[in-house]
Structure 1
Amino acid sequence: MNRAKIQDYIDQRVEERRGTFRSRMVDDTHLEINKHVYEIVFDKNNAFNLDSFTDRFSMILSKYNYIVGDWGYGQLRLRGFYDKDNPLFKPDQGVDTIQDYLYEECNFGCNYFILHNLEVNIPKQGRRKRYRRPEIKEKKRKIAEPSLRRRHNQEVRRVRHNKKPHFVIKKRGNQS
């Protein structure tokens, strides 16, 4: 696949996503996406662009307390971080790790912005119905052998070997 094909595919995906979310600026520091309010906490070199953010936005980002957007090679990348009060909090995705993310994952000196989600939507943790394998019940069958008294072609003898009794079952025709 050459670069032109890849770029065409990217452009096609951008056009498909365009218009999915409705956004507007409420004031200089607040914005609204589908009636969900965000606050701009930090904006380095006017990195925040409402149209680009709306095109890249996904509903999965609404569960995070903070969203960091950084620009690299003309592409906007979004990543979410949790506050310590959020029940979905994980230490590697906490607010304390935003600076580490900017230093390690982003391009050096890139423009970025940080948004604070004022209305966090925590997904419901429903119980998933798990497929349970049916239990395998083994039926115990009795062996279809006649009782010892009804066995006409066998003979049972008690033999002593080293002062311990043993039982030997032999066919009647092969007695020794």
Structure 2
Amino acid sequence: MNRTKIQEYINQREEQRVDLYHYEAQSGNNFLLNGHQYKLLKNYRDGFDGEQLAARFSNILNKYDYIVGDWGYDQLRLKGFYDPGNPLFRPEQGIDTIEDYLFEDCNFGCPYFIVQNCDVRLPKRRSRRHRKGRSPVIKERRRQLHQPEPRKRHHQSAKRVKAGNHQQKFVIHQRVKRNQNEK
């Protein structure tokens, strides 16, 4: 695949994304992005451009409390951060790390903006439990054994132990060597 073909795909994808998100300015620093309320907290060196934000925005950013957009090489990069009250909060993506992100990961002196999400939408959790009537899929990992086959292991013994609701597990113990005289 040559560069012109790749650039055609990129241009086609950008044309498709134009209609996905709509920016609508409101009073003060508030704005709507596809009917979702946001507030502009900081606009360093006029880094905020609502149309460019709408062009680069993705639904995955709806779960973050704060979104930082920074410019480098004429490209807008977006990164989300959590408020400590958010159930998805992790310290490395907390609001306290925004300044570290700007100093360490962004170009020195680049224009940037910080946007607050006024209506955070948490993703729905999917259940991994199996439904009634369906048997769960069991995936086994195979690994190479460095021991002889179980039948040839004369130095070990296996014992069946109940672990709970209709579950069993096997415990393998080393056999104790006894002196021939103690029998």
Q: TM-score, normalised by structure 1?
A: 0.70
Match of 1:46, SS state, is coil
**Aligned ranges for residues 120-135 of structure 1 at < 5 Å?**
120-130=120-130, 131-133=136-138
> Are 1:58 and 2:63 matched, yes or no?
no
Aligned to 1:109: 109
Larger Rg: 1
**CA separation in 1, counterparts of 2:89 and 2:107?**
26
Aligned to 1:146: none
Unaligned stretches of 5+ residues in structure 2: 131-135, 140-183
**CA separation in 2, counterparts of 1:9 and 1:110?**
29
Aligned to 1:24: 24
**Aligned ranges for residues 75-90 of structure 1 at < 5 Å?**
75-90=75-90
Aligned to 1:38: 38
What RMSD, in angstroms, separates the aligned Cα atoms of the two structures? 1.9
Amino acid at match of 2:22: R
More displaced 10-residue stretch of structure 1: 20-29 or 63-72: 20-29
**CA separation in 2, counterparts of 1:132 and 1:120?**
34
Aligned residues between the structures: 134
Q: Which runs of 4+ in 1 moved over 4 A?
A: 1-6
**CA separation in 2, counterparts of 1:36 and 1:58?**
13
Change over 3 Å in CA distance of 1:133–1:5 after alignment to 2: closer
Aligned to 2:11: 11
**CA separation in 1, counterparts of 2:91 and 2:124?**
21
Change over 3 Å in CA distance of 1:45–1:63 after alignment to 2: same
Question: Identity of counterpart residues, as a percentage?
Answer: 49
Q: CA deviation at 1:34?
A: 1.8
Q: CA deviation at 1:110?
A: 0.5
Q: CA deviation at 1:16?
A: 1.6
Q: TM-score, normalised by structure 2?
A: 0.67
Aligned to 2:160: none
Amino acid at match of 1:132: V
Amino acid at match of 1:42: K
Map Cα deviations across residues 74-119 of structure 1 (whole Å, 9 max, x no partner).
1100000000000000111000100111111111110000000010
Map Cα deviations across residues 100-157 of structure 1 (whole Å, 9 max, x no partner).
11111111110000000010111222312453349xxxxxxxxxxxxxxxxxxxxxxx
Change over 3 Å in CA distance of 1:127–1:36 after alignment to 2: same
**CA separation in 1, counterparts of 2:85 and 2:29?**
23
Change over 3 Å in CA distance of 1:3–1:72 after alignment to 2: farther
